[in-house]
Amino acid sequence: MSERFVDVPGGRLAVHDFGSGSAIILLHASIVDAWAWEPLTPYLLDAGYRVVAFDRRGSGASVTEDVAFSNRADVIATLDALGIGRACLVGNSIGGMVAIDTAIEFPERIVALVAIGAGLAGYWVDPTPEEAALYEEMDRLEGHGEPEEVADLDVRTWVDGLGQPNDRVPAEIRELVREMDLEAIRARRDPSRPMGRPIPLDPPAGRQLARLSMPILAIAGALDASDVAAVARHLEEQVPTARALIMPDVAHLIGLEAPEALARAILDLVEPLAPW
């Protein structure tokens, strides 16, 4: 295992690099950091892959100056720093959006793509009335609530699943996510810690899906918000190389809930392509 920092323009990324072989890059959700991939990593390593996870700018141990930056370019800079020519990208939530955007902008560097619980910029799905009320409450707490209130609602929504009991998943997973989320919330609210200004892909990904030609697996948890399953099915409908997978009995953070099942899905996608 190698833990190191990769310098990027106006920032520095904390990178965890495990194993050797064809590379799989893991991009985390916004309420956690790269350590959320720890349960998944051994399954990919045991299958003979190199696994790289890094904290996005402003998350975990990664830092940024108050600059405009591209998350997509940060992915490519990490590949370059580690001597990786091409990789499979696996992204959860906003990490899934970054993975899709990166594959569109740099298709020659991406051999396969796995988007887990991901949105799709430029493609809007109306929330259910219950979801709309929940998102309104999230916005209110983000602006005026205590960090603990924000983190508790995030855990109930994204770990438990919408409308699910709070004992559906093991307590240690809920507490791990809560602690990571609290760190992220406090970092966002710390005036001494810049978050930078992400540069969106233009045009947005939803209008550039024709640029995707690599094998794609779009995964949604059946207990997740309704839009992620809609995005997965939309990708399957619009991209000939994409397949949707709706996994039962899991919510948003599938890598923590069901790492073995997620690993099997990833490996089924990439094994016919390896080595690359």
Q: Is 88 found in the same domain as 136?
A: no
Residues 174 and 201 in one domain: no
- For the stretch 180-183, contacts whose Cβ atoms lie closer than 8 Å and that sit 24 or more positions apart, written own/partner, are 180/31, 180/32, 180/33, 180/35, 180/36, 181/31, 181/32, 181/150, 181/151, 181/154, 181/155, 182/147, 182/148, 182/151, 183/33, 183/60
Q: pLDDT per position in the chain (276 positions), as tens?
A: 578 999 999 999 999 999 999 999 999 999 999 999 999 999 999 999 999 999 999 999 999 999 999 999 999 999 999 999 999 999 999 999 999 999 999 999 999 999 999 999 999 999 999 999 999 999 999 988 999 999 999 999 999 999 999 999 999 999 999 999 999 999 999 999 999 999 999 999 999 999 999 999 999 999 999 999 999 999 999 999 999 999 999 999 999 999 999 999 999 999 999 999
Specify whether 110 is located in the same domain as 219. yes
User: Are 218 and 187 spatial neighbours (Cβ–Cβ below 8 Å)?
Assistant: no
In contact, 196 and 58? CB cutoff 8 Å: yes
The label of the residue with tokens 């399953």 reads 229
Does 212 lie in the same domain as 138?
A: no
Residue 228 forms part of a structural domain: yes
Q: Which residues contact 22 (CB under 8 A, 6 or more apart)?
A: 48, 49, 50, 87, 88, 111, 270, 273, 274, 275, 276
Same domain flag for 213 and 114 = yes
| Domain contains 170 | yes
Helix (H, G, I), strand (E, B) or coil at 25: strand
Residue 113 counted as domain residue: yes
Q: C-alpha 246: how far from its chain's center?
A: 17
Q: Are 9 and 67 contacting, i.e. CB atoms less than 8 angstroms apart?
A: yes
45 and 178 belong to one structural domain: no
Residue range(s) defining the domain that contains residue 138: 129-189
| Max CA pair span of the chain | 50
Q: How many domains does the chain have?
A: 2
203 and 185: one domain?
no
Q: What whole-number distance in Å separates Cα of residue 134 and Cα of residue 162?
A: 9
Distance of alpha carbon 59 from the chain centroid: 12
Same domain, 36 and 16: yes
Q: Residue 11 falls within a domain, yes or no? A: yes
Q: List 89's β-bridge partners, or say none.
A: 25, 113
Q: Do residue 68 and residue 113 come from a single domain?
A: yes
Domain boundary among 189, 204, 231: 189
CA dist 247 and 229 (Å) reads: 10
Q: Indicate if 166 and 204 belong to the same structural domain.
A: no
In a domain, 275, yes or no: no
Rounded CA gap, 237 and 220, in Å? 15
Q: Which pLDDT does position 2 carry in this prediction?
A: 72
pTM over 0.85: yes
Does residue 153 lie in a domain region?
Answer: yes
In a domain, 229, yes or no: yes
Q: Which of 174, 189, 204 is the last residue of a domain?
A: 189
Q: Is residue 276 part of a domain?
A: no
pLDDT value at residue 1: 55
Do residue 118 and residue 236 come from a single domain?
yes
Whether residue 107 is found in the same domain as residue 24: yes
